[in-house]
Structure 1
Amino acid sequence: MRIPASAGGRYAPVRGTAAPPRGSRGTVVRYMVEVERGLPITGADFAAEVHRVLNDPRSWGHGGTMRFMRVAGGAVRFRVSLSSPALTDRMCAPLVTGGELSCRSGNRSVINARRYGEGARTYGRDLATYREYVINHEVGHALGHGHRQCPGAGRPAPVMVQQTKSLYGCRPNAWPFPQD
């Protein structure tokens, strides 16, 4: 998918809501998804992928600790914002993303649309798994998790390793709790 270097420069919140998984266990975490206007990725498609990833048992709600609910407004714990490389650079400053990286900025998990659309060298042709990784990694920051290091050559990389840059000897891993 061809992602432009810049788009509209402003976000459009994705309309509607997506309910958290059923059950009484786990704190409900409200979040919002927004997509920069002018990107060739629909808000509905991106929001559905974010919701699927966050509510996967291998993600941050592991073991029923959290359940994620997408809302279109009101108070939220974090926002997941799909952004062109140019808007990513602006939103992530003073961090230098070079039009290539994603980041957390305040309560916003900024996902670089070029990375989301094309993947990263470290994941080869596995775009679907890379997308799971970048969502989990940037939302991990919004939930208070910092970067980690590779625990040893050939082992799965913790999701908070900067896998877009390098695997540092580890194997790719998109999930905070990959064993489940």
Structure 2
Amino acid sequence: MRGRTLPAAALALAAAVAGLTGCGFESHRERTGPKPAPSGSSETAAKPAKPRAGTPTPAPSRTVNGRPQPPIVRVPESGSGRYAVAKGTQQPPAGARGTTVRYAVEVERGLPFDVTEFAETVHRTLNDPRSWGHGGRMRFLRVDDGPVAFRVALSSPELTDRLCAPLITGGELSCRQGVRSVINARRWGTGVPWYGGDLAAYREYVINHEVGHALGHGHEQCPGPGRRAPVMVQQTKSLYGCRPNPWPFPA
């Protein structure tokens, strides 16, 4: 499989099998009422808390689980509605094996995030051995032009809601819509409480989860209380009794 590039159309066809996918609610009732937890779980779905007024910024030395954390950022409800594409080409790490998957990264203009920094995080996450390329399955090549299998698009709550319809993302959730893995910038900026302040890990989760949809993977359930959540569990809504896990193939 070394050196082979997987056509964008092939991945798009695989993802289309499930139709519109993502972490949105399928109905207004599901959004406003409690979601029953899967069998064996002690939790129900909970709506992530919105950031408080102001722009809280932790101390530069803030760490969780021994890991430096990015600052928590308050995100505006809407941006410009237009995307800036991360420029240039970013190769997979030296020695990476597997089918080459071309993808692009976008950030909606008007958001308080740098497109280059966001692209670096996405690329590092996708090419981590614990991500979808695990064991030489595939490797990820970021490009700014030409055909791609998917686009990772950091989007304001308003644009996310619009792109993800008819799924109800409620200004809080993310989805996969067409060629785009739409990541809600509100969640990117603040994470969710049940990740225990580990915003870096939550960001890895939301990348892997939404790209997982683009690669044709559907949602999974918590396998049991206290067990590690599969990455395709809707962890932005709840852990459903599981432990947080951002990786498809955790070490």
TM-score scaled by length of structure 1? 0.97
- How big is the shift at 1:24? 6.7
Structure 2 residue 126 is matched with structure 1 residue 54? yes
Please name the residue that 1:174 is paired with.
Answer: 246
Structure 2 residue 218 is matched with structure 1 residue 146? yes
Kindly tell me: are residues 57 and 24 of structure 1, through their superposed partners in 2, closer, same or farther at Cα, counting changes over 3 Å?
Answer: closer
Shift >3 Å, 4+ stretches: none
Kindly tell me: are residues 74 and 115 of structure 1, through their superposed partners in 2, closer, same or farther at Cα, counting changes over 3 Å?
Answer: same
Please name the residue that 1:158 is paired with.
Answer: 230
Gaps of 5+ in 1: none
- C-alpha RMSD of matched pairs (Å): 0.8
Contact 2:96/2:139 (<8 A) preserved: no
Kindly tell me: are residues 83 and 153 of structure 1, through their superposed partners in 2, closer, same or farther at Cα, counting changes over 3 Å?
Answer: same
Alignment of 1:1-180 (within 5 A): 1-23=73-95, 25-179=97-251
Distance across 1 between alignment mates of 2:110 and 2:182: 16
Contact 1:30/1:75 (<8 A) preserved: yes
Q: Which has the higher contact order (CA 8 A, sep 6+)?
A: 2
Larger deviation, residues 119-128 vs 165-174: 119-128
Higher radius of gyration, 1 or 2: 2
Percent of pairs with identical residues: 74
TM-score scaled by length of structure 2? 0.70
Count residues in correspondence.
179
Code of the residue aligned with 2:131 in structure 1: it is: S
Distance across 1 between alignment mates of 2:97 and 2:234: 31
Gaps of 5+ in 2: 1-72
Code of the residue aligned with 2:223 in structure 1: it is: P
